[in-house]
Chains A and B, each alone.
Chain A
Amino acid sequence: MSAQPAESVALETTPLHDLHQRLGARMVPFAGYSMPLHYPPGQLKEHLHTRAAAGLFDVSHMGQILLRGEDPAAIARALEGLIPADLVGLKVGRQRYGLLTDAAGGILDDLMVARFEDHVVVVVNAANKKADAAHLRAHLPAAITVEERPDALLALQGPAAEAALAALAPEVAAMRFLDVRAVTLLGAPGFVARSGYTGEDGFEISVPAAVAAPLAEALLAQPGVQPVGLGARDTLRLEAGLCLHGADIGPDTSPVEAGLTFAIPKVRRRGGAREGGFPGAARILHEFEAGPARRRVGLRPEGRAPVRAGAPLLAEAGGAPLGRVTSGSFGPSLGGPVAMGYVAASHAADGTRIVAEVRGQALPLAVTPLPFLAATFKRD
């Protein structure tokens, strides 16, 4: 059978599309959107610049879902039926990482839940946003409205991020890691979260679409701020040991296998005050006690060759299969290749030496603690 040409699908654009083109971005299709892969300096320089100063990312393709109801506490309780996090205990003005699980204990999506005075905002992955909204509508009580917001989302990441955003909204300097607050930016209502997905201190900034371009230009005018594409965003999050849904986690991986147990606090585990009560609880709670058969691990290839997603992992050359690489690239801040993948629990201990099969060769790797690079979040 001959291959059929791919059906051409019109890509969606973000409110920053024209700006990306003016800045000379190389645009690529990503999750149904035309998005900047990198700008003229290139992915390496953009990565290093984010760690040294500040990178401005367009993440408007991600989903922002607003949940409203008579009582925000009831929204939190209802969400706990879908997400094994402590959302009842999530205070107004705070944000928390969570996982949308399925009945088999797999991960439908990973997301950030932000609690405001009278509503909750959930930020989800671009590729899953329609499915997530449908899932929430289907499973939350009818009294809770699920609204997909068309707002733009910018991420400003790196050590110069605070000064740059504070030049436009001084109050953000007082925020600490995972704080959220309503902020007026260029006269428009928006919200800011002190979070991101690069391992750096920084902010995610939600504003109405009409304000996105002027806001981006105002931030780019601040000292140390450069535009950064999705290419560097991927290597930044990989160095930070953060999972990419659809690669490192998905419906075929459980939170315990993925090492995301921090996202499931004691209160939702066996013996906790609100034990279980989320999809897949039987499997997930069992894995906490019995240990999973395989685990996500950090991997440092010993040579210079990057080991990419999909590479089989073996105990030794020609030896028993252990799993496979789920993300792998060159880590610009580390000056060498880095990867993450799943291995049998027997080979998941830090320091274990295994091999990856790449182009018929067995490349040695060491199981390495995550993150590869310590995060610099502003925790107090």
Chain B
Amino acid sequence: MLRFTEDHEWLRLEGDVATVGITRHAAEQLGDLVFVDLPKVGTTLSKGAAAAVVESVKAASDVYAPLDGEVTEANDAVVAAPETVNQDPEGAGWLYRMRLADPSSLDALMDEAAYAALPK
């Protein structure tokens, strides 16, 4: 099940590792992405800190760490082809994976229905 943050990130938990990306809404708002900078494997992330950067033709945007954890994998495919994030933001356009410090912290994030109802 996908979970969502108010900053328009999504997470999918498998075991204690969450895959993180930006939502379709965020990708549409940003427009055509031309550059993605991802955190290095092993980086310790704190909830709310800048974790990645996505840049569209028009602007750079920070992607914040949705929860505390450690980066276990970065999606090099989107670094090589940033447009993948526009084409499939909630699938092949994932950004990185992180081992959550506290997997139960995911429960505090929105589910799909709550995110859909979020004023954007």
Binding site for B on A (CB under 8 A): 37-38, 42-45, 47, 231, 234-235, 304-306, 308, 329-330, 332, 337, 359
Q: Is B117 an interface residue, CB under 8 A from the partner?
A: no
| Closest beta carbon of chain A to B16's beta carbon, Å | 29
| Residue among A43, A330, A337 facing the most chain B CB atoms (10 A cut-off) | A330
Stretch at the interface among B3-11, B29-37, B39-47, B95-103: B29-37
Q: With contacts A44-B32, A304-B34, A305-B35 known, what are 12 further pairs, Cβ within 8 A?
A: A38-B31, A43-B31, A43-B32, A43-B58, A44-B34, A304-B35, A305-B37, A305-B55, A306-B55, A308-B60, A330-B35, A359-B37
Cβ of B57 within 8 Å of any chain A Cβ, yes or no, is: yes
Q: Which residue on chain A has the smallest CB distance to residue B60?
A: A308
Sample of 8 A–B contacts (CB below 8 Å): A43-B32, A43-B56, A44-B34, A231-B31, A234-B58, A305-B37, A306-B55, A359-B37
Closest residue of chain B to A361 (Cβ to Cβ) is: B37
List chain A residues, Cβ under 8 A from B53.
359
* List of B residues within 8 angstroms of A234 by Cβ: 58
Q: Is the interface of A mostly helix, strand, loop or mixed?
A: mixed
Bound: A306/B34 CA distance, A:
8
Q: Is the interface of B mostly helix, strand, loop or mixed?
A: strand
CA distance A235 to B57 in the complex (A): 8
Q: Which residue of A lies closest to B55 (CB)?
A: A306
CB pair A329 B57 closer than 8 Å? yes
Contact of A329 with B35 in the complex, beta carbons under 8 Å: no
Inter-chain contact B32/A306, CB cutoff 8 Å: no
A330 touches B60 (CB 8 A): no
User: Complex Cα distance A44/B37, Å?
Assistant: 20
Known: A330-B55, A330-B57, A332-B57. A306 touches B35 (CB 8 A): yes
Max chain A CB contacts within 10 Å: which of B32, B34, B37, B57? Answer: B57
B56 surroundings in chain A (CB, below 8 A): 43
- Smallest CB-CB A-B distances: 8 pairs: A330-B34, A44-B32, A43-B57, A42-B32, A330-B57, A305-B35, A306-B55, A304-B35
Residues of B within 8 A of A38 (CB): 31
